[in-house]
């Protein structure tokens, strides 16, 4: 199913919308965990700490929106309050695994770049539809942060590696997407 059509369906159904927001919150939380686990103490820089802080902030913003729309049941991450929760976790795992097989550079930066590209595509489409829907919510602050993250990593990889990693991410995302939209 096309992203825009799916998002229109999500916004029109309060329960589905809350599940969507909780799923996005979970992905941001997983991103936070992934960053923290991937870095040794010696590798932690001010930029990495800022990135981690923003991932947690995004998870919290999205969690609050899920609760606002769906109620207190969305206070936690559970299968019934997310869209294909196990497959969300599997997306990150598979992406790390596949990129690590091909990364000649820092895995954190390679995976972050591909995730930021995907996140921006989805968040921008979602924000556009939110504004058109008059729901009274916005995720523009998250988009602004994600754009900063992307700028940090955009020129990090050689073009051939970036293309390879984008294809890997596309495959992992399509597997996740099939589970979410069914």
Tally of domains in the chain? 1
Q: Which of 74, 86, 89, 79 is nearest to 27 (CA)?
A: 89
Looking at the predicted structure, is the pLDDT value of residue 181 above 90? no
Q: Would you place residue 149 in the very low, low, confident or very high pLDDT band (cuts 50, 70, 90)?
A: confident
Average pLDDT over residues 98-106: 81
Looking at the predicted structure, is the pLDDT value of residue 151 above 90? no
Residues above pLDDT 90, as percent of the chain: 71
- For residue range 6-22, what is the model confidence (pLDDT) as tens digits? 999 999 999 999 999 99
Looking at the predicted structure, is the pLDDT value of residue 122 above 80? yes
pTM score, whole prediction:
0.94
Identify the burial level of 7 via C-beta atoms within 10 angstroms of its C-beta, where 0-12 means exposed, 13-18 middle and 19 or more buried.
buried
Domain that holds residue 68: 3-181
Burial readout 28-59 (b: 16 or more C-beta within 10 A, e: otherwise): bbbbbebbeebbeeeeeeeebeebbebbbebb
Q: Would you place residue 156 in the very low, low, confident or very high pLDDT band (cuts 50, 70, 90)?
A: confident
Average pLDDT over residues 49-67: 97
Average pLDDT over residues 18-29: 98
| 137 three-class SS | coil
């Amino acid at each position: 199913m096309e992203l825009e059509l799916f998002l229109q369906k999500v916004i029109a159904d309060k329960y589905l919308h809350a599940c969507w927001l909780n799923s996005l919150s979970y992905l941001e939380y997983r991103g936070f965990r992934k960053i923290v686990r991937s870095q040794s103490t010696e590798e932690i820089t001010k930029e990495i700490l800022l990135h981690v802080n923003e991932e947690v902030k995004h998870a919290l913003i999205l969690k609050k929106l899920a609760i606002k729309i769906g109620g207190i049941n969305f206070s936690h991450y559970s299968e019934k309050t997310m869209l294909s929760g196990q497959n969300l976790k599997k997306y990150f795992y598979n992406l790390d695994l596949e990129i690590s097989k091909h990364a000649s550079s820092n895995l954190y930066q390679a995976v972050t770049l591909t995730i930021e590209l995907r996140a921006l595509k989805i968040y921008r489409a979602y924000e556009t539809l939110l504004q058109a829907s008059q729901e009274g919510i916005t995720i523009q602050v998250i988009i602004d942060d994600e754009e900063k993250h992307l700028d940090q990593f955009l020129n990090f990889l050689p073009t051939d590696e970036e293309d390879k990693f984008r294809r890997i991410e596309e495959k992992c995302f399509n597997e996740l997407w099939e589970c979410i939209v069914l």
